Amino acid sequence: MSTTKRIDYIFTPPAPHMVGDGFKVHNYIPGRTGGFERMDPFLMLDYNAPWEVGPRNKPLGVGVHPHRGFETVTIAYQGKVAHHDSAGNSGVIGEGEVQWMTAASGILHKEYHESEFSKKGGTFQMVQLWVNLPAAKKMSPPKYQGITRDQIKRKKLADNKGEIEIIAGEYDGLKGPAYTFSPVALMNANLKKGGKAAFSFPANYNTAIVVISGELMVNGQKALANQFVLMANDGTDFEIEASVDSIALVMSGEPLHEAIAAHGPFVMNTRQQLIEAFNDFNAGKFGHLAD
């Protein structure tokens, strides 16, 4: 039976901090949500609100760093992100595109502003989301999904008032291109003024909305640009309506309910597994990637 999913809380952006020298982010998960469990399987969400970056000859970014035990999902809204990893994957995440990297057993990675964007400067805006892997998949081989704009499924809304971009999961019979190891939905709602979109996820799924731009009414409650809307686990259905032209990132996932042992770039299930991750990294088992 369908029931209305209440809003648990609407968070304003916490103070930003720098990740490397290229990403000025507000941390919503776990910083605002009070721990890993509340948005399980989503471990972290860093939101780089619109940031004016001046022209530079050397791109800003984050140097070589390791990951194990989870996935990183990077969505570029304005500006471009370049990346390389020790599995041989590289490329540019253009505006409206997604990089879905499964670190799993271990990978080295670096990411930075794309060179031409860096030379010209401009507005930079992105989201990076960390998605936990089930215990049985944490040591699987690394995997990479580069999702371009033409691969993302789109559902037009009534009266030509916008569309839903389906990255992962399913919306109104359309399934997004991203492969996930557990049930996860990730979608952009691009709404014109007055546009409405209805969503339905199981009550036990952890669900949230990031207002990327504009202003929304979520079940009749106002949410402004850059705010994070945490939905309660007591219903299935909710509706968003755009007060002005707006973009919202909608996420929902089935919790794994597994133990989490996390330290820096490693997310495992036990402390011993964390020690092994550090030992393997120091032994060079994550491969090689030049700075």
Summarize the confidence of residues 6-27 as an average pLDDT. Answer: 97
Between CA 37 and CA 152 the distance in angstroms is 29
The arithmetic mean of pLDDT across residues 226-253, rounded, is 98
CA distance 73 to 210: 15
The per-residue pLDDT for 28 is 97
Chain centre distance of CA 194: 26
Res. 2 pLDDT band, cuts 50 70 90: confident
Cα 69 to Cα 162: distance, rounded to the nearest angstrom: 36
Q: Average pLDDT, whole number, for the chain? A: 97
Q: 58 falls in which pLDDT band (50, 70, 90)?
A: very high
In this structure, is the dihedral angle defined by the CA atoms of residues 210, 8, 269 and 25, taken in order, positive or negative? positive
Which string of b and e fits 175-204 if b means at least 16 CB within 10 Å?
ebebebbebbbbbbbbbbeebbbebebeee
Judge whether residue 291 has pLDDT over 90.
no
**Residue 179 scores a pLDDT above 90:** yes
In angstroms, rounded to a whole number, what is the distance separating the alpha carbons of residues 98 and 72? 10
Both structure tokens of 131 = 């998605």
CATH class of 7-253: mainly beta
With 0.85 as the threshold, say if the pTM is over it: yes
Would you state the pLDDT for residue 205?
A: 98
What pLDDT score was predicted for residue 82?
96
pLDDT at 158: 87
